[in-house]
Amino acid sequence: MSDYIVEAGLREETGRAATRRLRRAGKLPGIIYGGGKPDIAITMDYNTVSKLLNEEHFHTSMIEVKVAGSRGKNTVLLKDSQYDPLMDTATHLDFLRVSASDSITMDVQVVATNVDQCPGVAVGGMVDIIRHSLQITCRADSVPEHIEIDCSALQLGDTIHIEDITLPEGAEVHHEVNFTVLNISVPKGAKGGDATDEASEETGEAGEAVSE
């Protein structure tokens, strides 16, 4: 079952000049490929699809693309989206045909959670996400919206590697090296223990004040 339905039309003209004309007309070009079937060049309403692109769930969900003038059902995943580097507007979308049980590989965003509760941040550290996305292999109907890393217990200097992360059931990240995904780094210009020492001194002073 698809989470989204996108209406599209067949795109007869291709090439840069044709796609520029489409964009001026408020259309967004795209392509559907894979699944052992011929590629279909399509066009979609820009305003409708641009709103969907703002939804995180859209990027990892199964989508049904209804193409006017084309037979058959197109169940797809959004495999790639291209943007204008200056305007930051979508210019082209690539959709991959899938079935629910297909094993697929997708880039999934890494999200740091509970940063406001992180002890390392409380003493002046910073959450440094080294890998902003991970290449996840899983069923097409089970792609996670994002991969969460809980920072609530991380101290200054702590590092999270790929093997420290609990992935959703059935998902895996193929790797040969236990690479770093996130760490709690010391701010530039600060010595490793300065922030922690200052915090300890403040805690001690506060304790003396209370005991008096």
Q: What is the CATH number of the domain that holds 20?
A: 2.40.240.10
Q: State how far the alpha carbon of 87 is from the alpha carbons of 50, 56, 80, 82, 109, in Å.
A: 13, 20, 18, 12, 22
**Are both 66 and 130 inside the same structural domain?**
no
Q: Measured on CA atoms in the order 30, 34, 35, 36, is the torsion positive or negative?
A: positive
Q: Does one domain contain both 71 and 149? A: no
44 neighbors 8 (Cβ within 8 angstroms):
yes
Give the CATH number of the domain where residue 132 resides: 2.170.120.20
Give the pLDDT score at 70.
80
Sheet containing strand 126-129, edge to edge, reads 126-129, 180-185, 159-161
Q: What is the pLDDT of residues 23-61, one digit of tens each?
A: 889 999 999 999 999 999 999 999 999 999 999 999 999
- Give buried/exposed letters for 86-109 (b at 16+ CB in 10 A, else e): eeeebbebbbbbbeeebebebebb
Domain boundary among 71, 98, 125: 98
What per-residue confidence (pLDDT) applies to 1? Answer: 59
Phi, psi dihedral angles at 81 (to 5 degrees): -135, 130
Same domain, 202 and 122: yes
Predicted model pTM? 0.79
User: What is the number of other CB atoms lying within 10 angstroms of the CB of residue 188?
Assistant: 6
Judgement on whether residues 202 and 123 belong to the same structural domain of the protein: yes
pLDDT by residue (tens digit) across 51-92? 999 999 999 999 999 999 887 789 999 999 999 888 888 999
Domain count along the chain: 2
* CA-based max dimension of the chain: 83
pLDDT-derived band of residue 190, with 50, 70 and 90 as boundaries? low
Tokens matching residue 198: 């200052």
Same domain, 15 and 38: yes
Q: Are residues 111 and 203 in the same domain?
A: yes
d(CA 28, CA 51): 12
Provide the pLDDT for residue 205.
Answer: 43
Last residue of a domain, one of 52, 74, 98: 98
Q: Is 81 exposed, middle or buried (0-12, 13-18, 19+ CB in 10 A)?
A: middle
Closest CA to 161 of 131, 195, 137: 131
Residues 175 and 80 in one domain: no
For residue 206, count CB atoms less than 10 angstroms from its CB and return exposed for 0-12, middle for 13-18, buried for 19 or more: exposed
Q: Which of 76, 98, 120 is the last residue of a domain?
A: 98
Question: Is residue 162 pLDDT above 50, yes or no?
Answer: yes
- pLDDT at 196 > cutoff 60: no
- Per-residue confidence (pLDDT) for residue 188, from 0 to 100: 75
Domain that holds residue 32: 4-98
